[in-house]
Structure 1
Amino acid sequence: MRVLVSSGRAALAVGGGAVDIAAASGGRFSSDVQDIYGVWGEFCDWARGFAGPADLDVRPGNVGCPVPRPPQVFAVGLNYRAHAVESGLPIPEIPVVFTKFPAAVTGPYDRVVLPTGPVDFEAEVVAVLGTRAENVAARDAWSHVAGLTVGQDLSQRAVQWAGDAPQQFSLGKSFAGFAPIGPVVVTPDEFDNPDDVEIACSLNGEQMQKSRTSDLVFSIPELIAYISAIVPMMPGDLLFTGTPSGVGFSRDPKIVLQPGDELTTSIDGVGSMITTFAARAAGATGSPT
């Protein structure tokens, strides 16, 4: 099952197209996709029995963010071994969890205005919560996941690493547009193995990152078990699960995002997200360093 937003309304992929969920369900479910995560079990029962034809022509130009207002956005650092190595940091013994603020979330084909300072890319598999998770065992964690989507943990490195240790990552990773996700949320049962999916990204057509989630230090179920033992995870929450090796700041010379760049991020079984970048308008304020 694949859920998306088409022309601002929640949609369900059907065949080669999609249907408007509110219209197809006779108003049983909202046209606001964020509301649907709050009734995820009921929605899945309906959607899996839906047999109507597709009546929406889905195109990149009208596909929006599939989780536009997540209650919480969790993110995990150094969760691929090769990325920890390229960063010159030890493999974590427990998950390195920080937050991206929900205001950073944007859609799969949006343009991001670059702040002053070096901005890096980080391709990530993002898990979307479908039911409340509190003190969940790892073996039960997938039952709390609505699906997976493509994400980028964009990072202004100077702000991320500013100040004395331990640095606080959240602000450097939460500029406007720094959490693009999409284009669809795909339920775990659509994957041959949801613990082993391929992720990749390219910058202006040149491959930068490629790996599989089987190489995660902490799997998605382990992350949910760890986080939910501390704070309840809510329907519609996002979990950015970490980035593979190949980020721009670990290269020699470093690669930072520039106005006009095109960043394509893909997950096998989900699809691709294309993020473009623009310069901040002359005279604009509010961007440190």
Structure 2
Amino acid sequence: MKLIRYGAEGQEKPGVIIGEKYYDVSHLVNEYDEQFFSGNAIEELKQKIAEGNLQEINKDVRLGAPLARPSKIVCVGLNYKDHAAETNMPIPSEPILFFKATSAIVGPDDDVIIPKNSTKTDWEVELAIIIGKKASYVEPEDAFDHIAGYALHNDYSERAFQIERNGQWVKGKSADTFAPIGPFIATKDEIENVNNLKLWLKVNGTLMQNGNTSNFIFDVAYIVSYISQFMTLLPGDVISTGTPAGVGMGQKPKAWYLQPGDVVELGIEGLGTSKQNIKSYS
């Protein structure tokens, strides 16, 4: 099943994609939030959908992020071998963790705003894990029991804020609009092998990132288990699993970054595509 939230910003309603069509389910589900993901609501929703009585909605509608604001976004840095190589950093012996503010979340095709005083706004196509069951001290073999599904995420980063301004990476990751998620959440039964998915990103039509999750340093089960050793993951929480090579910071012979007017398009096999127009802060 594919879960969407549609409508004007701040007024999104829950929906689903069945085949190629969009349907409203706001009469069946209040919201795709912690309460929804914490129970058996996905299976219950599937049963209710099977009974029919769904209203189709126009596919031209704006899509918001496919989940309401989670308690946290936990990100994994340098989790692809080729990305570690392009940044001239050693392969990490343990996952590098940082947070991204949930206020950065926007819809998959919403505009991305270059933050005030930014000089190095960068792109990062990433697979996002959506937690479906409270996870604390989870073993890797049990990790998938705690996953609700997966989504496409563009982990925008301001590299000067992230690297040159001291302190935690969160400063370079959390500007408003820096977390477009979606277009949908695919429940885990939709994805045959999450550790073998193609992912890509283009800037102004030029292919910049072309990777595969098979190049993970730490796979999905390990990541969920590892993070759960340090914090409790709540239903609806997002884990962003890192990006492959091809970010602006890694370009040779010289790094280059996004400018107003640029267009970023990205996608992951089985998880759809998204597109962001880059605009200046005003």
Q: 1:104-126: CA deviations, max 9, x gaps?
A: 11110110111222101011001
Mapping of residues 129-168 of structure 1, within 5 Å: 129-163=131-165, 167-168=167-168
Q: CA deviation at 1:83?
A: 0.4
C-alpha distance in 2 between matches for 1:13 and 1:101: 28
Could you state the TM-score of these two structures normalised by the residue count of structure 1? 0.90
Q: 1:120-149: CA deviations, max 9, x gaps?
A: 101100111111111111111112111110
Q: Contact 1:68/1:105 (CA < 8 Å) preserved in 2? A: no
C-alpha distance in 1 between matches for 2:186 and 2:278: 26
C-alpha distance in 2 between matches for 1:276 and 1:19: 27
Partner of 1:196: 196
Q: Contact 1:129/1:145 (CA < 8 Å) preserved in 2? A: yes
Change (3 A) 1:33 1:168: same
Q: Contact 2:24/2:57 (CA < 8 Å) preserved in 1? A: no
Q: CA deviation at 1:33?
A: 2.1
C-alpha distance in 1 between matches for 2:238 and 2:126: 11
Amino acid at match of 1:265: L
Aligned residues: percent identity?
A: 32
Mapping of residues 178-257 of structure 1, within 5 Å: 178-252=178-252, 253-257=254-258
C-alpha distance in 1 between matches for 2:60 and 2:98: 31
Q: 1:148-171: CA deviations, max 9, x gaps?
A: 10101111111101245xx41001
Partner of 2:124: 122
Partner of 1:287: none
Partner of 1:20: 24
Partner of 1:263: 264
RMSD, matched Cα: 1.6
C-alpha distance in 2 between matches for 1:248 and 1:139: 36
Mapping of residues 62-101 of structure 1, within 5 Å: 62-101=62-101
**May I ask how many residue pairs the two structures share in their alignment?**
274
Change (3 A) 1:232 1:205: same
C-alpha distance in 1 between matches for 2:192 and 2:47: 18
Q: Contact 2:148/2:187 (CA < 8 Å) preserved in 1? A: yes
Change (3 A) 1:120 1:60: farther
Amino acid at match of 1:200: W
List alignment gaps of at least 5 residues for structure 1: 282-289
Partner of 2:169: 169
More off after superposition, 209-218 vs 34-43: 34-43
Q: Contact 1:84/1:91 (CA < 8 Å) preserved in 2? A: yes
Q: CA deviation at 1:265?
A: 1.2
Q: 1:251-271: CA deviations, max 9, x gaps?
A: 122220111111111011111
Q: Contact 1:14/1:54 (CA < 8 Å) preserved in 2? A: no
C-alpha distance in 2 between matches for 1:42 and 1:181: 21
List alignment gaps of at least 5 residues for structure 2: none
C-alpha distance in 2 between matches for 1:250 and 1:266: 20
More off after superposition, 59-68 vs 77-86: 59-68
Q: CA deviation at 1:36?
A: 5.4
Q: Contact 1:183/1:271 (CA < 8 Å) preserved in 2? A: yes
| DSSP-derived class of the 1:141 partner | helix
Could you state the TM-score of these two structures normalised by the residue count of structure 2? 0.92
